[in-house]
Amino acid sequence: MKVCFKRGIALAIMVSLSACATLPESHDSQLQTVQKPFTEKPGDVSFEHPTADIMYRIFVAELATQRGSPSVASKFYVDAAKKSNNASIASRAVRIASFADNKEDALEAAKIWAEASPEDTEAKRVLAVLYLRNGLFDNAKTLLSDLLDADEDGISRNILLTGALLQREASLEGALKVTEYLLLKHPQHAESHYIHASLAMQANKKEIALESIQKALEIKSDWADAAILYPRVLQEFERNDEAIAYFKTFLENNPKADNVRLAYARTLVDTRNLENARSQFELLAVKMPNNQDVLFALAMLSMQFKDYDEAEGYLIQLERLGKSSPQVLYYLGQIGEQKEQYNAALNAYSKIRSGEFFMESQLRIALILAKTKTLEDALAHLNSIPTKTDAEKREIKLFHGNLLRESKHYQRAFDHYTEMLANNQKDSDVLYFRSLVAERLNKIDIVIQDLSTVIEQDPENAAAINALGYTLADKTDKLEEALKLIQRARDLEPDDPAIIDSLGWVHFRLGNQETALKYLKEALDKIDDAEVAAHYGEALWTSGDKEQAIEVWNKAFEKNKENDVLNETMKRFSLE
């Protein structure tokens, strides 16, 4: 029974290189979303002849601000704005009320600000946003339209700024209504169609987005931003070939459009066209040798193609640019492992002190210690890892058990998992891993019991279903039941080589020789695995093709002399 528990190189490109088109930043600084605790510096508010009542309200509001009480500060600041009709006070009242998430008070203050300072476009833009947030879409449409009409020379840029402002609003329905209105008023501007397409994409209205972005490109065919968004929309319709063809044509006509080329390279990654993606990133690296996104992409692609020296070079270049991030260090560690330069790997992993790569790096250190020193050194390191949550403690315990299992300390691993189950008897991960070592200890009743519990809790757990089917096929005479389980697992994961191997093995045990050979060969073609080779070789031998069986076994033995299943198989056929 096989399980993959190797923590290795993951293709991180999909996350770090995902294509995205954004509108330019707008200037609604009063309304930025704040994701940190409420802490504000004292406001710079001044005006002539303040009354004692207004000064008192400002004083209380500022005191509440410093004490981290935005709701109190909002109430007193908005009252001061109403009583003073002062733009400076109203502006600060908007900010504080927005911190407090008090949309009604923020809107009231924004109205005062706009009235007190009629020439201030930021005040009007903020007011338009607050109309949107309060569901007053007609008011927002009118005000934004007036802002655009007031600056005809800068209308294209202002349309884009309006789009950026709308893109951040929670009410996509309201934002779309505004863009539809602006589209009616300014249909001759490509920017109107572009922001409409962008908002429609955000609202998952793909047909509308496609129509609008096509119109934008009809008006301005060489516009890079639209050229980036159009293929993204095509991808939503799974028209990947069209998206790639469009990029190629656009870049042939606009070879200096580096931002479009970057989007093209990312799209090639998305569609798993990695060779071409690498070529495009290499072109970008010539033109932008210090672009960190490009360098990181090339490092990840080089790792995918096992060009570890080249990947290391890109990551070292990132370090020289001051990008010695945990992510860069983690992948330098991965490269060190792949090149069997374990001291270099340990050095890289040890530099990661916190963050999302910390725990993974610590576990990799334990794995290296198990390889280069002793299992006890690895386990001691695991016990020394600082944890903050129960989830982290559990992850370390699982890894502890799997180190024991991989080191063939099956009884210790079994006892470890059993101890973990004392806290949670239905922990699916622990039950699954215990079943693997129980099988090695020939505790078949426990294997069946543990895997059945996992499947009962998760009827679509293909790994557990396959493991149970394989155990029944290999260790019992319940072959028809085993076949049903393995076929069920294959329906869930049709391309998994471990499941295909199990399918071949159960057919072999049923005496379906031809079918067994077909599936076992398919599995071995998909994965170079000693246990699969053992099964395929045995099926070949039994079918009379002893020379090929020996060839398959010997080839597998050269790469993995320690595999128990392969060694046992070769011993049975007197081929030690």
Domains of the chain: 387-459 (1.25.40.10), 484-572 (1.25.40.10)
Give the phi and the psi of residue 152 in degrees, each rounded to 5. -65, -35
The answer to whether residues 96 and 77 touch, using CB atoms and an 8 Å cutoff, is: yes
556 Cβ contact partners less than 8 Å away, ≥ 6 residues apart: 528, 529, 530, 533, 534, 537, 563, 566
Residues making up the chain, counted from first to last: 576
Of 29, 167, 47, the C-alpha closest to 95 is 29
CA angle (362, 365, 371) in 5-degree steps: 150
Residue 201, classed as helix, strand or coil, is: helix
Cα 21 to Cα 69, 224, 228, 294, 511, distances in angstroms: 37, 10, 7, 17, 57
Helix intervals (H) in 326-374: 326-338, 342-350, 358-372
Q: Phi and psi of 397, rounded to 5°? A: -65, -40
| Rounded Cα distance, 561 and 479, in Å | 30
**Which amino acid, residue 398?**
L
**Structure confidence at residue 46 (pLDDT):** 53
Going through 99-223 in order, the beta strands assigned E by DSSP cover: none
Could you tell me which of 93, 114, 79, 117 has the C-alpha nearest to residue 40? 93
- The pLDDT value given to residue 1: 59
- Among the listed residues 221, 260, 258, 257, the one whose alpha carbon sits nearest the alpha carbon of residue 243: 260
- Listing DSSP states for 445-510 in one string gives HHHHHHHHHHHHH-TT-HHHHHHHHHHHHHHSS-HHHHHHHHHHHHHH-TT-HHHHHHHHHHHHHH
Which regions of the chain are under pLDDT 50?
3-22, 24-43
Helix orientation angle between 87-99 and 52-66, rounded to the nearest 10 degrees: 30
Cα 558 to Cα 539: distance, rounded to the nearest angstrom:
20
Question: Distances in Å between the alpha carbon of 197 and those of 211, 237, 241?
Answer: 8, 14, 21
| CA–CA distance, 507 with 251 (Å, rounded to integer) | 53
**DSSP conformational letter for 351:** T
Reported for 436-439, long-range contacts at CB under 8 A and 24+ positions apart, including other chains, are 436/1, 436/3, 436/405, 436/467, 437/405, 437/410, 437/411, 437/413, 438/414, 439/1, 439/471, 439/475
Q: Is the Cβ–Cβ distance between 416 and 448 less than 8 Å? A: no
Please say whether the beta carbons of 467 and 435 come within 8 A: yes
DSSP 389-415: SHHHHHHHHHHHHHHHHHTT-HHHHHH
* Phi and psi based region of residue 311 (left: phi greater than 0; alpha: psi -120 to 50; beta: remaining): alpha
Cα 178–184–185 angle (5° rounding)? 90
Give the Cβ contact number of residue 348 at 10 Å: 24
Q: Are 228 and 259 in contact (CB under 8 A)?
A: yes
Cα angle 562, 568, 569; round to 5? 115
SS3 content of the chain, % helix, strand, coil (to 5): 75, 0, 25
How many alpha carbons fall within 13 Å on the CB side of residue 171?
A: 16
Distance of CA 370 to the CA centre of its chain: 30
